[in-house]
């Protein structure tokens, strides 16, 4: 078990490295920074100084020599003779009215080798060490904000995940009990109907129905000192209902795959009642494919968090990401992508280990 765990952890290193390579090339290789700046600046024809400012604010600017000297890798670069460019635009220089005909040469916004290497270092080594730096828009330390936001987000999503899993499994057992009857077909149709509704509509509808009309809980804010339960109730109900349709359908097929097995026939021949067969025998074995599914729930939970926190004004990671999208905060998005990937990879490792615990047929060595 220990050997397998270590091997599994080692396998995930190249994956994590690949993720970092993707994020680096995505943010620094796909589109020239100048074009991103021009697109995101609200003015139609931005001045070079504005572009320079945007680039500096969003992590694309030239590093200063003093900054590089504070950093071990930066010192190494400087000693190797790789130096940052000096500022290409000087906004302090007054325009010369004597020669208005000659336009100034178009400034070159292409980053120097030093800038690229420092960006690469920031986006691999620093990120791996959880040093995400400062937010582009608020200049707040990203890691501090992430730590603050993680608590409500994790709380909500963990409860949604647990409650959702339990509800879906129990309902799936119920549907499997009535397999082949009208109840089964009706349930299938209801599940498809539920799957066809977009997440936002569940939020808007239930927030309105449960929050405004029925007053089951507040529709805005998060104040743990005032009783967490009442702030969590409506978001959790929404999260569970939004995901339960697809889950029931999936778990039903897992359960039905098992009901055809020999051991079920044996149990039935021995006179075990159908309900006990499903709950005692089939459910245990059907849990193995269910476990695989749990990792693929992570993206859904992230999206759910993003939307729920946005609608309910919960100061978690989702609303942080939402703010980052709206203010084009590249640093925060980069940190989030890394954390999301890390979470998924850890989830996959846990799944593989959990397999060995639930299924004695699987030998890890």
Partner 1 sequence: MPNETPNFFQSDLFQNAVPVVVLAGLVWALVAAGRTPLWSEAYRRLLRRPLAVFALVVIGLYGTVALLDSFGATDPKSQTRKTVLDRLFERPKERTYSAPMADMTFGEPEPQKLKEPGTHLLGTDGVGNDILYRTLKGVKTALTIGGATSLMVTPIALLLGMMAGYYGKTIDDIIQYVYTVLSSIPGILLQIALVLVLGKGLPQICIALGITRWVGLCRLTRGETLKHRDREYVRGAKALGVSDFRLLTRHILPNLLPVVIISVTLGFSGLVLSESTLTYLGIGVDADTGSWGNMIDAARDELARDPIIWWNLTSATSALFLLVLAFNLLGDALRDAIDPRLRS
Residues engaged in binding partner 1 (CB under 8 A) = 14-16, 18-19, 22-23, 26-27, 30-31, 36, 39, 44-45, 192-193, 195-201, 204, 208, 298-299, 302-303, 306-307, 310-311, 321-322, 325-326, 328, 330, 333-334, 336-337, 340-341, 343-345, 348
Q: What minimum distance in Å lies between the beta carbon of 344 and partner 1?
A: 5
Give the nearer residue to partner 1 in terms of CB position, either 29 or 275.
29
CA-based torsion, 192, 202, 305, 123: positive or negative:
positive
What HEC string does 111-140 produce? CCHHHHHHHHHHHHHHHHCCCCCECCCCCC
Q: What minimum distance in Å lies between the beta carbon of 270 and partner 1?
A: 29
Helices and strands in the chain, H and E counts: 16, 0
Give the nearer residue to partner 1 in terms of CB position, either 31 or 266.
31
Residues in the chain: 365
Check if the beta carbon of residue 304 is closer than 8 Å to that of residue 239.
Answer: yes
Q: Kindly provide the b/e burial profile for residues 302-314, where b requires at least 16 CB atoms within 10 angstroms of the residue's own CB.
A: bebbbbbbbbbeb
Residue that has been written with the tokens 């992590």 in this structure: 59
Alpha helices in 134-221 (DSSP H): 142-177, 182-195, 199-206
Q: What minimum distance in Å lies between the beta carbon of 193 and partner 1?
A: 7
Q: What minimum distance in Å lies between the beta carbon of 192 and partner 1?
A: 5
Q: What minimum distance in Å lies between the beta carbon of 307 and partner 1?
A: 8
Q: What minimum distance in Å lies between the beta carbon of 42 and partner 1?
A: 14
Give the nearer residue to partner 1 in terms of CB position, either 163 or 322.
322
Give the nearer residue to partner 1 in terms of CB position, either 44 or 270.
44
Token reading at 155: 């709380």
Q: What whole-number distance in Å separates Cα of residue 205 and Cα of residue 72? A: 54
Q: What minimum distance in Å lies between the beta carbon of 97 and partner 1?
A: 24
Give the nearer residue to partner 1 in terms of CB position, either 11 or 178.
11
Q: What are phi and psi of 134, to 5 degrees?
A: -105, 150
Q: What whole-number distance in Å separates Cα of residue 283 and Cα of residue 258? A: 9
Give the nearer residue to partner 1 in terms of CB position, either 82 or 107.
107
Check if the beta carbon of residue 300 is closer than 8 Å to that of residue 343.
Answer: no
Q: What minimum distance in Å lies between the beta carbon of 326 and partner 1?
A: 6
User: CA-CA-CA-CA torsion for 92, 98, 99, 101, nearest 10 degrees?
Assistant: 110
- What residues contact 244, with CB distance under 8 A and at least 6 apart? 164, 167, 168, 171, 194
Give the nearer residue to partner 1 in terms of CB position, either 14 or 360.
14
Give the nearer residue to partner 1 in terms of CB position, either 195 or 358.
195
Q: What minimum distance in Å lies between the beta carbon of 330 and partner 1?
A: 7
Give the nearer residue to partner 1 in terms of CB position, either 72 or 325.
325
Say how many C-beta atoms besides its own lie within 10 A of residue 68's C-beta. Answer: 21
CA-based torsion, 51, 56, 61, 65: positive or negative:
positive
């Amino acid at each position: 078990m220990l050997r397998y765990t270590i091997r599994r952890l080692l396998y995930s290193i190249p994956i994590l490295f690949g993720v970092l390579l993707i994020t680096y090339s995505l943010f620094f290789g796909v589109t020239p920074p100048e074009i991103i700046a021009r697109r995101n600046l609200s003015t139609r024809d931005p001045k070079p100084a504005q572009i320079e400012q945007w680039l500096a604010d969003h992590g694309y600017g030239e590093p200063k020599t003093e900054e590089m000297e504070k950093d071990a890798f930066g010192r190494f670069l400087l000693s190797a003779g790789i130096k940052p460019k000096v500022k290409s635009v000087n906004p302090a220089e007054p325009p010369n009215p004597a020669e208005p005909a000659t336009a100034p040469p178009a400034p070159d916004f292409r980053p120097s080798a030093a800038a690229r290497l420092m960006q690469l270092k920031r986006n691999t080594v620093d990120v791996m060490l959880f040093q995400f730096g400062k937010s582009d828009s608020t200049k707040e330390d990203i890691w501090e904000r992430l730590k603050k936001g993680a608590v409500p987000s994790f709380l909500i999503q963990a409860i949604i995940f647990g409650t959702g899993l339990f509800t879906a499994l129990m309902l799936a057992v119920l549907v499997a009990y009535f397999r082949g009857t009208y109840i089964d077909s009706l349930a299938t149709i209801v599940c498809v109907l539920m799957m066809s509704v977009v997440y936002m509509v569940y939020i808007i509808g239930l927030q309105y129905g449960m929050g405004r009309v029925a007053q089951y809980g507040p529709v805005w804010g998060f104040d743990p000192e005032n009783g967490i339960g009442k702030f969590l109730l409506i978001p959790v109900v929404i999260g569970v209902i939004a995901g339960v349709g697809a889950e029931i359908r999936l778990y039903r097929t897992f359960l039905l795959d098992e009901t055809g097995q020999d051991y079920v026939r044996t149990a039935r021949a021995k006179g075990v009642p159908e309900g006990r067969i499903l709950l005692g025998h089939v459910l245990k074995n059907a849990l193995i494919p269910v476990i695989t599914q749990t990792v693929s729930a992570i993206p859904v939970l992230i999206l759910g968090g993003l939307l729920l926190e946005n609608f309910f004004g919960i100061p978690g990671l989702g609303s942080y990401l939402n703010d980052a999208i709206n203010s084009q905060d590249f640093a925060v998005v980069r940190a989030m992508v890394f954390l999301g990937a890390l979470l998924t990879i850890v989830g996959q490792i846990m799944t593989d280990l959990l397999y060995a615990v639930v299924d004695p047929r699987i030998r890890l060595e």
